[in-house]
């Protein structure tokens, strides 16, 4: 009986048939998961039927992670992508498989594969194993691979899936990191000092309530906020008598969360001085901590004028004398008027925020063990600290006054000693001037002749040295030119020999490669012939299947050995040629460098010797001329002073003496002045007598 089908059933059958055909010819898009035996048989019989090769350049010289955490090192050999696989085994063991074939699914995006997360790489890269568990191939899939089932999406949808997987992994990683803080930063201080505003300045948003309050602070319980892997804790203050016990309990609770803490105390200036109530709060909390720790101190809401005065006075040391433990680092933050009497405002990204972040980053973290915070006698402790501070400041002022008085006495004494020394030096100078004046007349006559003689000798010696130096430079230049020509000739000869050897080696390698290709081609022809015979004789092929597999394996082993032997031979020949060329070039370079160093040392020695002789002669001449000129000037000043004194003592009767001295000095210098004065004196004497 003939069965009839409806139109819907016919269309359904056609769709199933088309789907089945597509599964057979459309890559790995809809393959079912094969068993281990089916995978092994498929690799042996149809190695490239479904997994096609593509552009391998993006994967060359890359290390990726395959499914199971195995490290896959990819490299290119003879235009083929191969891989070395290091199996993920316990530490202390090593298991590596080399020269495995790499197959890539058609349409796989290779350029982005090395940048993917390791988890995504493990889903895209899988190992094909043989029956004994040994990997035989590395397969790179377009989608999630065989283990992940079918994948019929196009390339655009696959790329979107990669981006979504990366974003999900990054978000999961960030959430895990944020849930585990590296350390906690706790802010402590009395109400109204600005702890909450400083925390908000770090976050750049109002996470903790801040602003002005009457009678008590806005913070009554400790508050926490996670920011950049740090847990920030804002605590209430101890100064408010009504909230003191609760504040102490909140601080104890905040410091007992465990982990490493960075402690920051915040205080303010009151009329240019620190409030002892703020310092007392620091002492109470620090005394309760039983383990070694450090803390940072922030002086908030400070006027710039006050900061400058404190710096001029030598710093904050005297102001912190009542603290039981000195801070690790102290910073002063300037007051911003825009934040005054306003709620939930904070520093912008400015110098104050930078200082605060630097303090927190530089502050060492400590594992704090806290005892009981003792808030008893809070006001009495403040009064005692005030008295201690007043006494310390009075003592400091007295010490500064004594130091100033001692400094004034020392300056007066040094000034008197300096004046006495200057007076004594003046007397010695006058005696020396008189002694020099007695020698000037004798030296003046021979000075000009000596200067002229020295000048001529110096010029002759300089001219002679310059001639010798030019001659030596010319000889050295000629010598360098000859050496350069010899060196160029040797290098050219050596290069020709190297090129000749390289051409011979290249021709030899080419011949060996042709021989190998011929052998491989012959073997391939034999294999093709065997396949043809196998197709003609199906029954015989089934019976001789085992024998053919053995022969095929032997042929592959033989081809591999031939390739390895040729490769090793080429490598040894290249190494030998390279060693010979390097040794020969090194010997030649050493000889040339030795000659150049010797020539350069000789030229340097001759040049330095000539320059030294010229400098010495020039310096001697300049010093001698300068000394004689100074002596002449001193004699001239002396002689003129004597003449003026004689004119004043003799008056009009010796006017001719002064006139003769002036005329003679203008014509012949000091000697002419003496001669003119002598003639004028004779004229005055004759005039008075007759």
User: Could you tell me which residue, 130 or 273, shows the higher pLDDT?
Assistant: 273
509 vs 378: CA distance, rounded Å = 95
Tell me the pLDDT tens digit for each residue of 609-619: 888 888 888 88
Angle (CA) 662 668 669, round 5°: 70
- What pLDDT shows up at residue 294? 93
254 vs 555: CA distance, rounded Å = 77
**From 10-14, 156-160, 199-203, 620-624, the region with the lowest mean pLDDT:** 156-160
User: Could you tell me which residue, 93 or 271, shows the higher pLDDT?
Assistant: 271
Tell me the pLDDT tens digit for each residue of 485-507: 888 888 888 888 888 888 888 88
Please give the share of the chain, as a percent, with pLDDT higher than 90. Answer: 9
Please give the share of the chain, as a percent, with pLDDT higher than 70. Answer: 77
- Is the pLDDT confidence value at 37 over 50? no
- Is the pLDDT confidence value at 404 over 60? yes
Q: What does DSSP say about strands 230-234 and 135-140: parallel, antiparallel, or unpaired?
A: unpaired
96 vs 85: CA distance, rounded Å = 6
**From 196-200, 321-325, 353-357, 681-685, the region with the lowest mean pLDDT:** 681-685
- What pLDDT shows up at residue 216? 57
**From 98-102, 225-229, 639-643, the region with the lowest mean pLDDT:** 639-643
Report the pLDDT averaged over residues 365-370: 88
- What pLDDT shows up at residue 154? 43
Neighbours of 237 (CB within 10 A): 24
As given in the structure block, the two tokens for residue 685 are 């004497």
- Is the pLDDT confidence value at 179 over 70? no
- What pLDDT shows up at residue 656? 52
- What pLDDT shows up at residue 657? 54
User: Could you tell me which residue, 41 or 167, shows the higher pLDDT?
Assistant: 167
124 vs 42: CA distance, rounded Å = 20
The Cα-based distances of 450 to 439, 443, 446, 624, 633 in angstroms read: 16, 10, 6, 10, 17
Tell me the pLDDT tens digit for each residue of 242-259: 888 898 999 998 888 778
Report the pLDDT averaged over residues 372-392: 86
100 vs 82: CA distance, rounded Å = 6
Q: At what angle do helices 378-536 and 655-689 cross, to 10 degrees?
A: 120
- What pLDDT shows up at residue 104? 81
356 vs 230: CA distance, rounded Å = 15
Give the list of residues 6+ apart from residue 345 with CB closer than 8 angstroms, or none. 197, 206, 210, 211, 338, 339
- What order do you get walking across the sheet with 63-65 strand by strand? 63-65, 71-77, 80-86, 96-104, 135-140, 125-129
As given in the structure block, the two tokens for residue 680 are 């004028």
Instruction: Specify which residues 86 forms β-bridges with.
Output: 71, 96
| Torsion sign over Cα 116, 119, 124, 129 | positive
**What's the Rg (C-alpha) of the chain?**
51
- C-beta of residue 657 within 8 angstroms of C-beta of residue 684: yes
Q: Please report the domains of the chain, with CATH numbers, ordered by start residue.
A: 62-140 (no CATH), 183-376 (3.40.50.300)
What are the two backbone dihedrals, phi and then psi, of residue 227, each rounded to the nearest 5 degrees?
Answer: -145, 115
Report the pLDDT averaged over residues 294-312: 86
As given in the structure block, the two tokens for residue 449 are 């002749």
Binned at pLDDT 50, 70 and 90, residue 675 comes out as low
Tell me the pLDDT tens digit for each residue of 542-591: 777 788 788 778 888 888 888 888 888 888 888 888 888 888 888 888 88
As given in the structure block, the two tokens for residue 266 are 């915040």
Q: What is the mean pLDDT of the chain?
A: 77
As given in the structure block, the two tokens for residue 586 are 């090194």
First vs last C-alpha separation in the chain: 187
Neighbours of 623 (CB within 10 A): 10
Q: Greatest CA separation found in the chain? A: 187
Length of the chain in terms of residues written: 690
- What pLDDT shows up at residue 116? 82
- Is the pLDDT confidence value at 83 over 50? yes
H or E stretch including 436? Answer: helix 378-536
657 vs 685: CA distance, rounded Å = 10
Tell me the pLDDT tens digit for each residue of 426-472: 788 778 777 887 777 788 778 788 888 888 888 888 888 888 888 88
Neighbours of 110 (CB within 10 A): 16
As given in the structure block, the two tokens for residue 6 are 């409806």
492 vs 614: CA distance, rounded Å = 43
């Amino acid at each position: 009986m003939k069965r009839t089908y409806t139109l819907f059933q016919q269309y359904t059958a056609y769709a199933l048939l088309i789907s089945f055909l597509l599964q057979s010819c459309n890559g790995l898009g809809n393959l079912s998961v094969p068993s281990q035996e089916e995978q092994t048989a498929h690799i042996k019989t149809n190695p490239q039927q479904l997994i096609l090769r593509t552009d391998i350049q993006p994967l060359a010289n890359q290390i990726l992670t395959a499914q199971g955490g195995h490290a896959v090192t990819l490299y290119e050999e003879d235009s083929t992508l191969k891989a070395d696989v290091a199996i993920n085994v316990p530490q202390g063991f090593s298991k590596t498989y080399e020269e495995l074939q790499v197959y890539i699914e058609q349409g796989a995006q290779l350029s982005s594969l090395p940048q993917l997360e390791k988890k995504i790489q493990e889903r895209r890269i899988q190992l094909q194993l043989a029956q004994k568990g040994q990997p035989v191939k590395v397969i790179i899939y377009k989608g999630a691979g065989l283990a992940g089932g079918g994948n019929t999406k196009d390339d655009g949808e696959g790329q979107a899936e990669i981006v979504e997987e990366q974003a999900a992994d990054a978000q999961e990683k960030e959430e895990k990191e944020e849930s585990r803080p590296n350390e906690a930063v706790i802010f402590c201080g009395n109400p109204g000092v600005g702890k909450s505003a400083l925390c908000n300045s770090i976050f750049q948003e109002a996470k903790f309530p801040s602003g002005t309050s009457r009678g008590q602070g806005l913070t009554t319980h400790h508050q926490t906020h996670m920011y950049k892997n740090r847990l920030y804790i804002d605590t209430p203050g101890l100064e408010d008598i009504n909230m003191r016990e609760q504040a102490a309990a909140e601080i104890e609770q905040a410091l007992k969360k465990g982990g490493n803490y960075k402690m920051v105390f915040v205080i303010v200036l009151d009329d240019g001085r620190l409030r002892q109530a703020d310092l007392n709060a620091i002492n109470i909390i620090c005394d309760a901590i039983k383990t070694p720790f450090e803390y940072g101190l922030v002086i908030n809401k400070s006027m710039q004028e006050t900061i400058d005065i404190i710096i001029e006075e030598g710093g904050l040391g005297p102001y912190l004398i009542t603290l039981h433990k000195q801070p690790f680092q102290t910073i002063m933050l300037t007051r911003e008027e825009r934040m005054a009497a306003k709620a939930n405002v904070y520093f912008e990204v400015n110098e104050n925020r930078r200082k605060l972040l630097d303090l927190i980053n530089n502050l060492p973290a400590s594992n704090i063990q806290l005892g009981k915070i003792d808030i008893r006698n809070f006001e009495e402790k403040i009064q005692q600290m005030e008295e201690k501070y007043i006494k310390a400041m009075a003592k400091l002022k007295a010490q500064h006054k004594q130091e100033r008085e001692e400094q004034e006495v020392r300056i007066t004494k040094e000034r008197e000693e300096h004046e006495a020394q200057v007076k004594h030096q003046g007397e010695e100078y006058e005696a020396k001037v008189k002694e020099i004046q007695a020698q000037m007349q004798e030296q003046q006559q021979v000075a000009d002749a000596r200067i002229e003689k020295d000048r001529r000798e110096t010029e002759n010696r300089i001219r002679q040295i310059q001639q010798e130096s030019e001659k030596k430079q010319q000889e050295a230049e000629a010598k360098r030119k000859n050496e350069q020509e010899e060196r160029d000739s040797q290098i050219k000869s050596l290069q020709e020999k190297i090129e000749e050897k390289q051409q011979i080696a290249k021709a030899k390698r080419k011949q060996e490669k042709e021989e190998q290709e011929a052998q491989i081609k012959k073997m391939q022809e034999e294999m093709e012939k065997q396949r043809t015979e196998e197709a003609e004789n199906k029954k015989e092929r089934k019976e001789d299947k085992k024998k053919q597999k053995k022969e095929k394996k032997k042929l592959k082993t033989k081809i591999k050995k031939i390739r390895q032997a040729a490769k090793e031979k080429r490598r040894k020949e290249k190494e030998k040629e390279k060693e010979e060329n390097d040794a020969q070039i090194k010997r030649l370079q050493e000889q040339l460098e030795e000659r150049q160093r010797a020539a350069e040392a000789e030229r340097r020695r001759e040049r330095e010797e000539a320059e030294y002789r010229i400098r010495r002669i020039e310096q001697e001449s300049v010093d001698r001329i300068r000394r004689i000129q100074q002596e002449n000037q001193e004699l001239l000043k002396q002689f003129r002073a004597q003449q003026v004194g004689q004119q004043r003592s003799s008056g009009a009767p010796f006017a001719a003496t002064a006139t003769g001295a002036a005329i003679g000095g203008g014509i012949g210098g000091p000697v002419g002045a003496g001669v003119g004065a002598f003639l004028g004196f004779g004229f005055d004497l004759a005039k008075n007598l007759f």
